[in-house]
Structure 1
Amino acid sequence: MSSTNKLSSPHSALQTDRIRRWAVRAVLGSWLLVVLAGIGALTAYSNAPGPGATMLDRWPQDTQLTPSTHKRTLLMFLHPHCPCSRSALRQLEQMMASVAEPVAIKFVFYKPAQQTDSWAQSDMWNSANAISPGNLLVDSDGREAKQFHATTSGHVIVFDEDGQCSFSGGITAGRGHEGDSTAYAAAIDVLNGRDVQNRHYPTYGCTIYPSGPGGQL
């Protein structure tokens, strides 16, 4: 009996070791699948534009905003708590370094109707004010955004001196992404008075006026 146990003991130990190795491999494989799925979901989210928006032909009549009549006007519509829009603001600041023509820049910040103006005055408010001091508007309940057909935070609209819309859309290549893109290059061309083939692009960011309570994202 004793000799049988001695003979079977190495075999049992080897089998146990194999089971452990397979268990470790299974755990690592499952972990890798979870990581890859997470990366895939994050990539899909980053590359997903916000709700589609119709491009305007001209400056709308029923608005508090006033266009410039002697230079182009650029509007950027923002949700003050959208993390993606920090990249849009930095992208705009970089973009203006490549624009030789004078531009009137105005920022429109959404706030829910029941909130005070301070709700809209986030860190992005300060960043926008550094780009175009004093040219910021708190947009209660998204009324202005709706007038200009802006549905996604970071949406840029450019109008010429006659009030004609010459560009509409985002200037980033994805949510939170910075760098060159077709839309970014087109916006620069439009602001420098050059013709472009495509003037309408998707915007990557959070919905400006969400349906949730309090306008929370």
Structure 2
Amino acid sequence: MLYRHTDPGSHQIADPLEVHPKTRKIPPVLYRVAVVWACILAGLFFALIAYGTTPGPSSLPPTQSPLRPASGELQSSAATDWEVVMAVHPKCSCTAASLNELNRLLSQVDDNVNCRFLVYHPAETDPNWIDGRITSRLSEFHRSTIQADEAGEAARELGMQTSGAVVVFDPHGKTRFHGGITVSRNHEGDNLGVRSISMLIQGQTPPLSTTPVFGCRL
């Protein structure tokens, strides 16, 4: 408690406002500005989360691969390989994570898996449009085929409308899985897509046969 000295031996309580008469108060407008900025930052944060976790469009693939002969036309000696088909938008940075996850998947299974990359490019564009960091990585995958896909027509025939989408065909050309192999945009790590395909190729029962796809729209 504060005291003011007067006569010897006596004390008087001092007014705190008189001790600090020049204390400044924060103007109300600054409070309002701080609240507005906090709301903007929170909105941007949640918008980024929504963007990264909102799956892209997709549709059901055909039950049989249109990229190879029907199972009845296959020679028994040829019906030994699985095929993983991936739709790739060469300008989509999110697809890098999907390629890394595909590489991780292939390291978990035997060598009886072929890859086919359908590389999107707009209609009537220069062939060099697809060149870039994403496309250059595709040649690093063994037993792979790189196919230019004008306007994404081949991918749409397989129900793929988002970059990074995959469709898995068994050795007889039957569709066994379709979806994505990342948990969100540009996010690597354990996910049900990779786990399901790995189990499927190894003859086990997978937990899922379809998963959401996260990437750029084709």
Instruction: Give the aligned partner of residue 51 of structure 1.
Output: 57
Offset at residue 134 of structure 1 (A):
5.9
- Aligned-partner Cα distance in 1 for 2:110–2:80: 15
Instruction: Give the aligned partner of residue 98 of structure 1.
Output: 108
Output the TM-score relative to the length of structure 1: 0.80
Contact 1:62 1:147 in 2 (8 A): no
Q: Partner letter of residue 192 of structure 1?
A: Q
Gaps of 5+ in 1: 1-9, 209-217
Offset at residue 128 of structure 1 (A):
1.4
Contact 1:171 1:187 in 2 (8 A): no
- Judging changes above 3 Å, is the alpha-carbon distance between structure 1 residues 58 and 161 closer, same or farther for their aligned structure 2 residues? same
Contact 1:46 1:175 in 2 (8 A): yes
Q: Partner letter of residue 192 of structure 2?
A: T
Output the TM-score relative to the length of structure 2: 0.80
Instruction: Give the aligned partner of residue 18 of structure 1.
Output: 25
Instruction: Give the aligned partner of residue 208 of structure 2.
Output: 198
Q: Partner letter of residue 47 of structure 1?
A: T
Instruction: Give the aligned partner of residue 11 of structure 2.
Output: none
Alignment of 1:78-93 (within 5 A): 78-93=88-103
Helix, strand or coil: the match of 1:105?
Answer: strand
Q: Partner letter of residue 165 of structure 1?
A: T
- Aligned-partner Cα distance in 2 for 1:196–1:167: 10
Is 2:42 aligned against 1:32? Answer: no
Deviation digits for residues 49-71 of structure 1 (CA, Å, limit 9, x no counterpart)? 001311321112699xxx97321
Contact 1:55 1:200 in 2 (8 A): no
Q: How many residues were matched structurally?
A: 194
- Aligned-partner Cα distance in 2 for 1:166–1:62: 15
Contact 1:101 1:191 in 2 (8 A): no
44-53 vs 127-136, greater mean Cα deviation: 127-136
Q: Which of 102, 111, 123 is the matching residue for 2:121?
A: 111
Offset at residue 37 of structure 1 (A):
0.8
Instruction: Give the aligned partner of residue 207 of structure 1.
Output: 217
- Judging changes above 3 Å, is the alpha-carbon distance between structure 1 residues 58 and 133 closer, same or farther for their aligned structure 2 residues? closer
Instruction: Give the aligned partner of residue 14 of structure 2.
Output: none
Deviation digits for residues 74-94 of structure 1 (CA, Å, limit 9, x no counterpart)? 111111111111111111112
When the two chains are superposed, the root-mean-square deviation of aligned CA atoms in Å is: 2.5
Instruction: Give the aligned partner of residue 184 of structure 2.
Output: 174
- Aligned-partner Cα distance in 1 for 2:141–2:212: 23
Identity %: 26
Contact 2:195 2:206 in 1 (8 A): no
69-78 vs 190-199, greater mean Cα deviation: 190-199
138-147 vs 67-76, greater mean Cα deviation: 67-76
- Aligned-partner Cα distance in 1 for 2:66–2:199: 24
Structure showing the higher helix proportion among its residues: 1
Contact 1:77 1:156 in 2 (8 A): yes
Is 2:166 aligned against 1:156? Answer: yes
Instruction: Give the aligned partner of residue 4 of structure 1.
Output: none
Q: Which of 197, 204, 207 is the matching residue for 1:187?
A: 197
Helix, strand or coil: the match of 2:108?
Answer: coil
- Aligned-partner Cα distance in 2 for 1:190–1:25: 58
Instruction: Give the aligned partner of residue 142 of structure 1.
Output: 152
Poorly superposed stretches of 4+, deviation over 3 Å: 22-26
Larger radius of gyration: 2
Offset at residue 146 of structure 1 (A):
1.8
- Judging changes above 3 Å, is the alpha-carbon distance between structure 1 residues 173 and 134 closer, same or farther for their aligned structure 2 residues? closer
